[in-house]
Amino acid sequence: MEIVGRLTADAVTRIVQGDKKVVVFSLAVNDSFRSGEERREVTKFFECSYWRNEGIAEYLKKGGLVQIYGRVGVNAYIGRDGEAKGVLTFHVSEIKLFGGVCLYLYLNSG
């Protein structure tokens, strides 16, 4: 799957399972549609993880526009209020960064 959106904060590199590094970031994706005569806009948020190369984190800054490829998922949980909640997740396999000049990074090494 492919989505395009803006980073809601700077990416963070975390160490998990002792020595594995993962880059995590949140992406806001805007969608618009018509409901009768009215045009509506909805923003979806994805919690993303990228395991291939932690060097990309320094380029993933708040407000940056990115195109990502990978697998979408959902994590369900019970909130503090006792209500069922869900978080959209995205396991990223490829990242394309956009800026003043289109910068393409396909980081395939780990």
Which tens digit of pLDDT belongs to each residue from 9-56? 999 999 998 889 999 999 999 998 888 889 999 999 999 999 999 999
Write down the domain spans for the chain: 2-105
Let me know if 8 is exposed, middle or buried by CB neighbors in 10 A (0-12, 13-18, 19+).
Answer: middle
Structure tokens at 82: 């006792």
**Average pLDDT of the chain?**
89
User: Model confidence at 93, in pLDDT bands (50, 70, 90)?
Assistant: very high
Separation of alpha carbons 43 and 4, rounded Å: 12
Percentage of residues of the chain with pLDDT beyond 70: 90
Q: What is the mean pLDDT of residues 62-81?
A: 95
**Residues whose CB falls within 8 Å of the CB of residue 79, separated by 6 or more in sequence, listed in order:** 85
Q: In the structure encoding, which two tokens stand for residue 83, read together?
A: 């209500």
Query: Class for domain 2-105, per CATH?
Result: mainly beta
Percent of the chain with pLDDT over 90: 77
DSSP reduced 3-state for 54? helix
Q: What is the pTM of this model?
A: 0.82
